[in-house]
Chains A and B, each alone.
Chain A
Amino acid sequence: MSSRKNERLINLTIALLATKRFLTKSEIFRTIDGYEGSAESKERMFERDKDDLRSLGINIEVGGLDPLFDDEAGYRIRPDSYVLDLGEISGQEIALLSLAAESWRGAALGDVAQSALNKLLSLGIASDFESIPAIAPRMIVNSENILPLIRAISDSRAVTFDYVAKDLKIESRSVDPYGMANSHGYWYLVGHDHSRQAMRVFRLDRIQSSVVVSAKEGTFAIPVDFDVQKTIDVQLFEPTMFATVRVRQGKGFAITSSATLLNDSDDFVLYQVGYSNREKFVDMLLWHGDDVIVDEPADLRDEIIRRLELLVTLHV
């Protein structure tokens, strides 16, 4: 874009903001610097300029048509729609919002947050950090998909993306997004999966494509009692199966922390422990080597033995 065009767009914004009444096209062409050439080329310029400003979220009002006369349409920008209005805002609130913006430093929304911060700091209200704890929170999320997902959640729009399944097959999934949460160091999306016809949880870093957001808004309703954190806990972590294990005294904290003590004998302590994902539980049992021994169920015990034998064979 040439600097002439930049200049013209700025001048157009200034003039449309300054005018109390609608400015007609011919007034615009006559008074605003930069509209040159034939009538047609001026028209084309103006159409493109309006599109450009609107794409920046600037609301250009059209009006002033008098039905009795064959009048031209007029244009203006209302200052109250252009100017940032956060209501009454204190220096301390500015400081809190600044910290909120700063928390994105280096993360997915860094640039967006920086421009929000610049606008806050342009309000001319001195930030008051006096009574705010000296903390520098840092948001941990690098997925480029976070913003489209949050937009889709707040507009109730369906999303489609490629997802890596357990067997590493990459599959396209179509989901009504209900919510997102950070849990155990990962970001999860919760929603209704169209192909599975059920609520599913997706880990953001396993999404292998850009998220495609549906053009249709409000195509689904989120259940009233929906609680994002709870859904993740239940779907991913709530035990549905139980095992009896012997754990070496003082060891296996990751297992015993959520287990029920059955019998405290000498070297080994007997626990009942619940798990939600058999594969993950097998991993965890094997991680602990000879510190954790499975008694029941038999098929779990057999799988561990088989795996241990395989490990020995593989590492001769």
Chain B
Amino acid sequence: MSKPKAVQGVERIARMLDLVPYISSHQGISLEELAEAFTSSQAHITEDLNTLWMCGLPGYTPLELMELSFESGFVTIRNAQTLQKPRSMSRDEILALILGLEYLRDQVPQANESLTLQMGSLLSRLSALAGAPVHERVATSMPALASIRSHIAEAIEHRGKIGIDYHSLVRDVVTTRVILPLNIYIENDVEYVLAFCNLARAHRTFRLDRILSATVETADDPSAISGTQPIDSGKVEIGLEISDRKRDVLESFGLDAKDQSSIASVEVFNTDWATRTVMSMGGAVRITSPRNCVESISARAAKALIGYGLSAH
């Protein structure tokens, strides 16, 4: 799951105890797969196996020792003694499964009733093991988002299309599109769906939390609705000068709360987003470069003042 790391002390013992039942149920597994399953290196796993090979019941004759074979790069175990069955789970492991399961339940199409029931039963069994109704206190996803996600998951599974209403916050437009979802992925803690978009006739990514509604689409190709341009790509560097250090200002531009500097330079994908963000901060921060962003802000603010029946000067 993550990079191999050196495990020391009792953690090492835990891994060895867990290796035995894993190998017992995966006889002939390769060292490589074993190292991957235990987030370790083949060298470390080999060391563990070398130790286990010397272990067994008192007496320690060949009859009582575990019988491991791993010379050829494939591992088998015989006479695993009392360690053959997996150890009971730690509280943390149970909690991780409960949350994962709850999250999963939100994404499975709700139509699949037997599966939903089965997950409910697993959740209560695990909660009993954890000794508290954890799943009632921790909500892993928003209900609204869950239903959209489940529609998308279903479409991905059946290679089907869905119709969505999508809100682009930057352009401030809502468009209706038919998309063929291909994959859900996460970047910087935000969930996106990669899809083929009938409106743009190209692959597009959509933020899940900006999809206002999703419906299963049966018609082949609906008439295209209001057109839209793909957002400009390529990063632009903008200069900022912060006069009022507020949490929101720093968070919006991904700046560190502990950084005391009032001058910052950030890379953005979309200058329209940057100018609107600076606008929304109402003077707590100003853009110093590039010039077109500076001008665009003063022009927008002046236009808004006209809306209030005032001129800019």
Contacts and interface: CB of A to CB of B under 8 A. Distances in A.
Interface of A: 1, 3, 6-7, 9-11, 13-15, 17-18, 31-33, 52-53, 55-58, 79, 81-87, 92-93, 96-97, 99-106, 109-116, 118-124, 131-140, 142, 147, 150-151, 153-155, 164-168, 170, 178-185, 206, 208, 222, 228-229, 250-254, 257, 279, 282-284, 286-291, 293, 301, 304-305, 307-312, 314-316
B97 A133 contact: no
B101 to A, nearest CB: 4
Q: Chain B binding site: helix, strand, loop or mixed by DSSP?
A: helix
A310 B295 CA distance: 14
A287 B37 CA distance: 48
A283 B82 contact: no
B307 A101 contact: no
B103 to A, nearest CB: 6
B57 A18 contact: yes
B140 interface: yes
A182 B96 contact: no
A86 B139 CA distance: 24
A300 to B, nearest CB: 12
Contacts of A82: 87-88
Given A114-B1, A254-B167, A305 B279 contact: no
Interface of B: 1-2, 8-10, 12-14, 16-18, 21-22, 24-26, 37-39, 47, 50-52, 54-60, 81-83, 85-97, 99-101, 103-104, 107-109, 112, 115, 118-119, 122, 125, 130-132, 134, 137-143, 153-154, 156-157, 167, 169, 172-174, 184-186, 189-191, 209, 212, 245-248, 250, 257-258, 276-283, 286-287, 294-295, 297-298, 300-308, 310, 312
Contact of A311 (B89, B174, B279): B279
14 contacts: A10-B55, A11-B56, A14-B56, A53-B13, A84-B85, A116-B94, A118-B86, A139-B100, A142-B189, A182-B141, A289-B300, A290-B306, A310-B282, A311-B301
B39 to A, nearest CB: 6
A278 B253 CA distance: 21
A135 B108 contact: yes
A89 to B, nearest CB: 9
B137 A153 contact: yes
A315 B138 contact: no
B190 A14 contact: no
A110 B138 contact: no
A181 B50 CA distance: 46
Contacts of A57: 87-88, 90
A84 B250 CA distance: 47
A255 to B, nearest CB: 10
A83 B100 contact: no
Contacts of B37: 114, 118, 121
A166 B139 contact: no
Contacts of B184: 136, 138
B10 A56 contact: yes
Given A183-B139, A308-B304, 16 more contacts: A1-B12, A3-B51, A56-B14, A57-B87, A82-B88, A109-B95, A118-B38, A119-B86, A137-B103, A139-B140, A153-B138, A167-B247, A185-B209, A291-B172, A308-B282, A311-B297
Contacts of B173: 250, 253
Contacts of A178: 137
A54 B143 CA distance: 41
B156 A134 contact: yes
Contact of A113 (B52, B100, B248): B100
A133 B112 contact: yes
Contacts of B92: 109, 112, 147, 151
Nearest to B38: A118
A171 to B, nearest CB: 12
B295 A116 contact: no
A7 B51 contact: yes
Most buried by A among B132, B167, B308: B308
B62 to A, nearest CB: 14
B95 A154 contact: yes
B257 A208 contact: yes
Given A154-B132, A315-B294, A140 B186 contact: yes
A168 B138 contact: no
B282 A184 contact: no
Contact of A140 (B157, B172, B191, B298): B191
A6 B12 contact: yes
B82 A122 contact: no
> 4 closest pairs, A vs B, by CB?
A100-B100, A307-B282, A310-B283, A154-B132
Given A11-B55, A283-B248, A305-B308, A140 B189 contact: yes
A315 B93 contact: no
B305 A229 contact: no
A119 B276 CA distance: 51
B302 A253 contact: no
Contacts of A116: 89, 93-94, 96-97
A1 B8 contact: yes
Given A56-B10, A56-B14, A185-B189, A122 B25 contact: yes
Nearest to A18: B82
A6 B88 CA distance: 20
Contacts of A228: 137-139
B75 to A, nearest CB: 14
A153 B134 contact: yes
Contacts of A142: 189
A100 B305 contact: no
Given A133-B108, A147-B95, A168 B257 contact: yes
